[in-house]
């Protein structure tokens, strides 16, 4: 039997060509992985979990290049034939399994590379069709993230551990820029819709000048990091201030009746704070980097990810997260996780704080998983007149 015949034979065991939704598959997988990966990293530090998670760089890689791409796939891929989506998810799952068992093996590189290539091939042509340069900037950003995934594994494979750690650390800026873009595009229309419902008008929506400045400053900070660290740090502080100004101009204090928007705003606020702290750490020779980076990787990524997962899931079944108390509880646990994780590096009670942080993170994603699974089994509700007045996120 030749290779083509084998592939056709294997394809019989895959889902068919019926339409499937990427967010249902990838958000489910991402939530389960997020719930498990932090406790596994805690166990690994004591020799009881995967050795790949025992080192900070290994743990960071799985957070940034393992969990985050699943979230990107769930948010951006959209509906597609179930069989094709199964290849995407299968490659991601194999990449995660092999990454935990043999992080720098050739087959780990192959599965990670195959997943990011499939993701780039599916997303980049569609995103390049955008007319505005700010929208098109997602193409080089996502392309760079995909290439960095491969470069990080190659660096570890050839024992270039300093390069490996450098690439992982600096990639935080790339994911921060991605969150700034997606978070802004979600918050702006949602806040404007709430203002409209109140009979008001929100003048500052996407704020293209600030968004363009954020793209330029963070890109410059990333490119200058190897040759001008102080300037890179200064640009990160500037980008954090710009993000804070953008958040303030959305005037979310007028949206207190919409806890879902307040929680999204909190995630965006963590992002602004994290960029300022990251820039400050660079200006101080990298001291406390391992502490302040968690404002972005836990505070911003965790808060925005869980809220986006819940929001996209509910909107898909034509339910709106306007007053869902679980969102507040979920976001509260994630904020506790971020604060205690940062405090752990500065406290004599490090282990206790780490356990609290890991528990808060896992509980937040457990709540998100509950909403995702509930959305899978509940039929799509008909839109009511009240719901139709709400503006869904884009």
pLDDT tens-digit readout, 19-52 = 899 999 999 999 999 999 999 999 998 888 898 9
Same domain for 288 and 316: yes
Same domain for 142 and 269: no
Mean pLDDT calculated for residue range 98-116: 94
pLDDT for res 364: 97
Residue 1's pLDDT band, with cuts at 50, 70 and 90, is very low
Mention every residue, 6+ apart, whose C-beta is less than 8 A from residue 173.
Answer: 218, 221, 222, 225, 236, 278
Same domain for 51 and 177: no
Same domain for 192 and 133: no
Question: Which is nearest to 36 in space by CA: 359, 277, 293, 380?
Answer: 359
Same domain for 254 and 193: yes
pLDDT at 106 over 90: yes
Residue 4 covered by a domain? no
Same domain for 241 and 106: no
Residue 1 covered by a domain? no
Residue 16 has φ and ψ, to the nearest 5°, of -80, -160
Q: Are 20 and 81 in contact (CB under 8 A)?
A: yes
Q: Are 152 and 230 in contact (CB under 8 A)?
A: no
Same domain for 177 and 312: yes
Same domain for 135 and 217: no
Residue 379's pLDDT band, with cuts at 50, 70 and 90, is low
Same domain for 142 and 256: no
Residue % of the chain over a pLDDT of 70: 91
Strand, helix or coil for residue 19 = strand
Torsion of CA 112, 117, 120, 125, to 10 degrees: -170
Question: Which is nearest to 38 in space by CA: 350, 376, 355?
Answer: 355
Same domain for 217 and 361: yes
Mention every residue, 6+ apart, whose C-beta is less than 8 A from residue 255.
Answer: 191, 194, 195, 261, 262
pLDDT at 240 over 80: yes
Question: Which is nearest to 137 in space by CA: 207, 249, 214, 82?
Answer: 214
Residue 335 covered by a domain? yes
Residue 386 covered by a domain? no
Strand, helix or coil for residue 79 = strand
More confident residue, 245 or 318: 245
Same domain for 238 and 336: yes
Mean pLDDT calculated for residue range 241-250: 97
Residue 389 covered by a domain? no
Residue 132 tokens, joined: 């505005």
Share the mean pLDDT of the chain: 90
Q: Count of domains in the chain?
A: 2
Range of the structural domain that residue 53 is part of: 15-159
Same domain for 275 and 136: no
Start-to-end CA span in the chain (Å): 48
Mention every residue, 6+ apart, whose C-beta is less than 8 A from residue 250.
Answer: 187, 188, 191, 202, 204, 265
């Amino acid at each position: 039997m030749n290779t083509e015949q084998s592939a056709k034979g294997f394809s019989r065991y895959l889902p068919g060509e019926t339409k499937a939704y990427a967010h249902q598959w990838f958000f489910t997988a991402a939530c389960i992985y997020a719930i498990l990966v932090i406790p596994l990293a805690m166990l690994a530090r004591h020799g009881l979990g995967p050795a790949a998670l025992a080192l900070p760089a290994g743990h960071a890689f799985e957070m940034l290049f393992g969990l985050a791409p699943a979230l990107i796939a769930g948010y951006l891929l959209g509906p597609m034939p179930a069989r094709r989506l199964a290849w995407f998810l299968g490659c991601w799952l194999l990449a995660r399994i092999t990454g935990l068992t043999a992080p720098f093996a050739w087959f780990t590189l192959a599965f990670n590379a195959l997943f990011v290539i499939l993701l780039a091939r599916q997303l980049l042509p569609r995103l390049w069709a955008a007319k505005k340069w700010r929208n098109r900037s997602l193409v080089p950003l996502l392309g760079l993230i995909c290439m960095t995934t491969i470069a990080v594994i190659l660096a570890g494979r050839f024992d270039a551990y300093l390069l490996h750690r450098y690439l992982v650390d600096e990639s935080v800026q790339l994911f921060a820029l991605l969150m700034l873009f997606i978070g802004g595009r979600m918050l702006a229309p949602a806040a404007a819709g709430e203002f409209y419902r109140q009979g008001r008008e929100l003048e500052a929506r996407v704020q293209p000048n600030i968004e363009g400045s954020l793209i330029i400053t963070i890109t410059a900070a990333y490119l200058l990091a190897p040759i001008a660290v102080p300037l890179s740090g200064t640009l990160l502080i500037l980008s954090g201030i710009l993000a804070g100004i953008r958040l303030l101009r959305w005037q979310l204090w007028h949206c207190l009746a919409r806890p879902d928007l307040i929680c999204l705003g909190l995630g965006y606020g963590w992002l602004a704070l994290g960029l300022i702290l990251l820039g400050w750490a660079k200006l101080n020779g990298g001291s406390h980097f391992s502490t302040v980076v968690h404002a972005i990787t836990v505070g911003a990524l965790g808060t925005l990810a869980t809220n986006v997962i819940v929001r996209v899931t509910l909107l898909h079944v034509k339910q709106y997260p306007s007053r869902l108390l679980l969102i507040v509880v979920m976001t509260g646990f994630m904020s506790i996780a971020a604060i205690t994780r940062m405090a752990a590096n500065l406290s004599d009670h490090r282990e206790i704080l780490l356990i609290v942080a890991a528990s808060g993170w896992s509980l937040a994603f457990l709540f998100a998983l509950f909403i995702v699974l509930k959305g899978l089994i509940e039929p799509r509700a008909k839109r009511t007149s009240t719901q139709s007045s709400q503006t869904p996120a884009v």
